[in-house]
Amino acid sequence: MSEDLLEALFDLSDRAAETAPGLRRRTAAAGVVIVVLLGIIVLLLLGPLARHLVDALLALGAIVLGAVALTLLAETDRFYRSYVERHRAIRRFADAEAAPAIPAGPTPVVRLARHLAASNERIGTFLRAHPEALRYRVRVTSAAGGAVPFDLAIVAPAALAYRLLGLGDPGFAVLARFRPGTIDEGTVSEFARDVAGVARRLPARPSRAILLRPVTAEPVAEAVRALVGAPAVGTGARPGAAIEIISERSDGTYDLVPPVVGIP
């Protein structure tokens, strides 16, 4: 029954998402019309009608209303983009493997890097174009000035327009640390502090923060499972990385806590 309900939810999301492109086109067309009208009003202000106070005040009022309308259209466009991205995330989650296979590799960290490149289209595409962005055993300077070690780092710098204006590609950063011993609440909290500490020093906000465990490690305690998934960097519209624990299993698959699909 639960599987039927879940599939029905995915079907409903698919049908609703099909309407989004048309709505975005109509919203864009409305924006063009408003821009043209504002341009005409500005011309009227600069022309003979500007000599008449009433006409000038009406034109100014229309400009204010037009600016408000453009702001509302921009908010609507952001909603549509967020809606479509959420639908894509749902589909990725529906299509993803519950227990993905561990790829071949000499060490757990190398295997994790190969898993990330194979399972995440954006990471894989970026690394094919920039293989030098994949780094092992790195030390990143924190905001406090100390050097923080990570066993794996993949950093795609944000676009200049995003750093200056918040527009364009925000980039991403993936940070991972290998932890062969026991992971407890203190381990998770320390890792979260380290990720938050280096976030401002990176050219892109961290999108994933992973604690990696080998196949011989003991199971993750329930108290620790309850801590993961909370944002380690920032709040708001772009909360950044949430702590993940990825464990290798003896059957050749990964245990993902929590399951993370399509991020960045």
Written as tens digits, the pLDDT of the chain (264 aa) is 344 545 655 665 666 666 667 666 777 777 777 777 777 777 766 666 556 666 667 677 777 777 777 777 777 777 776 666 666 666 666 666 667 999 999 999 999 999 999 998 899 999 999 999 999 999 999 888 889 999 999 999 998 888 776 767 889 999 999 999 889 999 999 999 999 999 989 999 899 999 999 987 778 888 888 888 766 654 333 445 789 999 999 999 999 888 876 678
Residues sharing a CB contact under 8 Å with residue 76, sequence separation 6 or more, in sequence order: 27
Q: What share of the chain is helix, strand, coil (3-state, %, to 5)?
A: 55, 20, 30
**Cα–Cα nearest to 154, from 181, 128, 179:** 128
**155, 173 contact by CB (below 8 A):** yes
Alpha carbon 171 to its chain's center: 9
Alpha carbon 108 to its chain's center: 25
**195, 175 contact by CB (below 8 A):** yes
Amino acid 215 reads V
**9, 93 contact by CB (below 8 A):** no
**228, 187 contact by CB (below 8 A):** no
| DSSP 8-state assignment for residue 50 | G
**Beta strands at 242-248 and 254-257: parallel, antiparallel or unpaired:** antiparallel
Distance, CA of 233 to CA of 264 (rounded, Å) = 14
Residues sharing a CB contact under 8 Å with residue 201, sequence separation 6 or more, in sequence order: 140, 141, 142, 143
Token pair recorded at residue 19: 């309407």
User: 208: part of which helix (H) or strand (E)?
Assistant: strand 206-213
- Computed over its alpha carbons, how large is the radius of gyration of the chain? 24
Amino acid 47 reads G
Distance, CA of 28 to CA of 22 (rounded, Å) = 10
Q: What is the pLDDT of residue 2?
A: 42
Alpha carbon 27 to its chain's center: 25
Distance, CA of 263 to CA of 122 (rounded, Å) = 8
Q: What is the pLDDT of residue 237?
A: 37
| DSSP 8-state assignment for residue 53 | H
Alpha carbon 125 to its chain's center: 16
